[in-house]
Amino acid sequence: MNKILFSILLALFSNQLLAQSTFEGGFAQIGVGYQSLSGSSNSLTETFTGDPTTYPVTANISKINTFTQALSAGYFSRLDSNLYLGLGVDYNPVNTSSANETQLLDYSGVIGTSHASYKTSNFYNIYISPAYAIGDKGLAYLKLGYSSTKLKLTAGSDTISPGQVSAYNLNGYILGAGYKQYFSGNVYGFFEGNFNKYQNVNAATTACNISYCGTMGGKIGLSSYSFLTGIGYKF
C-alpha cells in the first residue's frame, strides 16, 4: 500500500515538474500593435553667420501614433518551482511614420516660424525578464533593460535648407510587462505593454543658403509606449 501511494505521489510530482518546465528554453515570436512616441527638446537656440547674438527657439512637437511590430527571441531558465528568468531581444526594422515639429524663433522680439518633421528607425531592446508561471499554460513576465533607436529630423520647406536630414542615435531603457498563454505543444500567444525612455542628447544642425548659415542647437529626447499582441514558439 505504501509503495502504491509513493508511486502515485512520485507520478504527480513528476507531472508537476513537467508542467513547470513548459516555459523553459528558447523562444521566437512576432508581435504587432500600437505605438505612441513623444519627441522632446529643451534649451534650443539658433545663431547666424556674422551675428554674435544667440536667439532662443521654442519647439512644439506633435506625437507619432502608429502601427508597430517587433521580432523577438530569447531564452527562459527556471529558478524555482514557478519562477523563471529570461533574456530577450526585440527588433523592429520598419521606420515609423513622421510627425511635425513647429519651431518658433524669437529674433529680438520678432517671431519667426519654421517647420520640420521627425521619425524613428532601427529600434531594438535587450532585456532581462523575470517571470512567474500561472498554472501549466500561462506565464506572466516583466521586461527591464536597454533600448536604442535612431531619430531622424528633416528640415521643412520654410527653413534655410529644405529637406536636410539630421540623424541621432538615442539610448535609454525599457520597462514592460506581459503574459504568454500556451495553446498546443510549444505554440503560444502573448500580449504585452512597454514603456521606452531615451536620454537627451546634444544636437546641432547647420544649414546654409547663398547668403548666410544658421546653426540650431540644444537637447533632444524621446519617449514611447506600445501595446503588442502576437504568436510565438518555444524550442
d(CA 97, CA 91): 17
Say yes or no to pLDDT of 24 above 50: yes
CB-facing half-sphere around the CA of 205: CA atoms within 13 A: 21
Q: Where do the domains of the chain lie?
A: 2-234
pLDDT band (50, 70, 90) for residue 22: confident
- 2-234: in CATH 2.40.160.20: yes
Amino acid 195: pLDDT? 98
Say yes or no to pLDDT of 106 above 50: yes
Amino acid 3: pLDDT? 52
Instruction: Tell me what the mean pLDDT of segment 154-169 comes to.
Output: 91
Average pLDDT, the chain: 89
84 near 49, Cβ under 8 Å? no
Amino acid 138: pLDDT? 96
Q: What angle do CA 148, 154, 156 make, to 5 degrees?
A: 155
Say yes or no to pLDDT of 13 above 50: no
User: Worst-scoring range by mean pLDDT, 97-111, 122-136, 143-157, 176-190?
Assistant: 97-111
Instruction: Tell me what the mean pLDDT of segment 191-196 comes to.
Output: 98
- Indicate the pTM of the whole model: 0.85
Name residue 33's amino acid. Answer: G
> Sign of dihedral through CA atoms 235, 123, 87, 15?
negative
pLDDT band (50, 70, 90) for residue 1: very low
In tens, the pLDDT along 126-149 reads 999 999 999 989 999 999 999 999
d(CA 7, CA 177): 40
Residue appearing with cell numbers 529674433: 107
